[in-house]
Amino acid sequence: MTPDVILAGFGEILTLERLAIAFLGCFAGTFFGVLPGLGPVTAIAVLFPITTYLDPVSGILMLAAVYYGGMYGGSTTAILLNIPGEVSSLPAALEGYPLTKRGRAGAALATAAVSSFVAGVVGTIGVMIIGPTIARVALAFGPPEQFGLILFALTAISGLVAGSLVKGLAMAVLGILLSIVGYDAISGAQVMTFGSWTLAQGFSVVPVMIGLFGIGEILKTLVQRNADVVVAPVGSLLPTREERRAAVGPTARGTLQGFFLGLIPGMLPSITSFLNYSWERRRAERRGDSQFGKGAIQGIAGPEAANNGAAMGGFVPLFSLGIPTGPSMALILAALLVYGLVPGPMLFTQEAEFTAGVLASFLIANVILLVLNLPLVGLWAKIARVPFSIMGPIVIVCCLVGSLLERNSMFDVGVCAAFGFIALLLDRAKLPLAPLVMGFILGPSFQETMRQSFTMSPTFFVERPIFIAFALAAAATVAFAVVRAVRTARMQRASRDGALVRH
């Protein structure tokens, strides 16, 4: 991506209209993020229909701003209330809440914001550098290579995210089956419609995603809702010199670790956040000065940087290969498809100006997020105290209206509500949602590339080296998941045996 194209991208973004969109996206994302139980995925799902009325650059800008705002909002409630807005904010709760009780909530929030900002900026530059290179490699991909890549992505997220490999793969297959309901694009036949003309139109991605992540998360939170909590005073936002010095190293390490791990399908920001927290804790213990568990600023700076770094890293395979690394990236992929844009090498060649504009918008959104949210910490703390019994139904109504607007179809409203209840049932049954979403998003491409590959050669799977490499990577992921499951089962068995001996 040449400097001229990058400058043109900034010129396209630095307008009053686009800056206002970025501001609204950051504000809305943070609003959803500070509501305990919600997070960036829910925020994107709820606001997704609005972005379909914008031009592609503005739409992706708003979704990215919502994404960043949702992650920041989750760390706000984690630090102030000891309630992580999402899983990746748990380290912020472990170290931030003890700081809050010592009157250092402002310093903890400022550290989280600055670390996230640094990771976002560095990650955006990384996407600009690495994305075009991977895209050029992807130009050599034919259907067999694309099929192998999709197979690896589905296997990776099923094995790494799900607690059980069997459950993860089963949910991925279910997602693929749901994606092919309706008319088959090649044969024109109806698939899994059971003779219903209503089902023949298929499941649109918008109501399905809003149902799973909008209504589903609201229902889960309403069922599990705890009593309201008291928000502690924020205090000064300025960290001390010692706190700033302690945060520099973890921020740098978390940024790099998160970005490069975020390139791997299945390595969600939550996973990289926990990995960095574990690394920083072990590092501090080896140095003999660990304050972890008592309010270590390193336990906020590192994981928050890793969180945002992984979020940015996920855009590299999304833009250059068309492969989402998790649910949030899957929603942004759905938005690109709604705009008629096909993620892949063409985004860095024929659509280079669009991609440059989007990447420039990421930098702008990170700056706005930093400038906007620190002065509004008090406001977010008050919003977090709004009873969820009031806020939840309002968000559900917004979800249903959003699903109606996409195709002006009451069928989509029913689909949205149905998938909301499906998400609740899956949560109660402890079945992973991420593989289902990835299967649903990638299902059509999985089916199409598999057909094309077998049409080209019935023995393509032993003739194409790149496909073989992806197949081996998928097999390695499965083996890793199996080993991890066996090890976990042994540890649990040993723990139970030890408890029995003590009794």
**Parts of the chain with a pLDDT under 50:** 227-228
Would you state the pLDDT for residue 87? 62
Paired with 182 in beta bridges are 191
Burial category of 321 from C-beta neighbours within 10 Å (exposed 0-12, middle 13-18, buried 19 and up) = buried
Would you state the pLDDT for residue 91? 78
Taking the C-alpha atoms of residue 156 and residue 172, their distance in angstroms, rounded to an integer, is 11
Taking the C-alpha atoms of residue 477 and residue 472, their distance in angstroms, rounded to an integer, is 9
Burial category of 350 from C-beta neighbours within 10 Å (exposed 0-12, middle 13-18, buried 19 and up) = exposed
Would you state the pLDDT for residue 238? 76
Would you state the pLDDT for residue 253? 92
pLDDT tens by residue, 125-180: 888 888 888 777 776 778 888 888 888 878 877 766 655 778 888 888 998 888 88
Q: How many CB atoms lie within 10 A of CB 374?
A: 15
Asked if residue 383 lies in contact with residue 27, where contact means CB atoms within 8 angstroms, the answer is: no
- Read off the pTM: 0.71
pLDDT tens by residue, 248-297: 888 999 999 889 888 876 666 777 887 788 788 878 877 766 677 777 88
Asked if residue 18 lies in contact with residue 182, where contact means CB atoms within 8 angstroms, the answer is: no
Task: Using CA atoms of 316, 322, 327, 331 in order, give the dihedral in degrees to the nearest 10.
Answer: 110
Would you state the pLDDT for residue 314? 83
DSSP states of 7-18 = HHHHHHH-SHHH
Cα dist from 359 to 11, 217, 251, 304, whole Å:
12, 29, 22, 21
Would you state the pLDDT for residue 83? 65
Taking the C-alpha atoms of residue 233 and residue 101, their distance in angstroms, rounded to an integer, is 9
DSSP states of 309-323 = HHHHHTHHHHHHH--
What region does 225 belong to: left with phi over 0, alpha with psi -120 to 50, or beta? Answer: beta
Would you state the pLDDT for residue 227? 47
Would you state the pLDDT for residue 251? 92
Residues 6+ apart with CB under 8 A from 387: 228
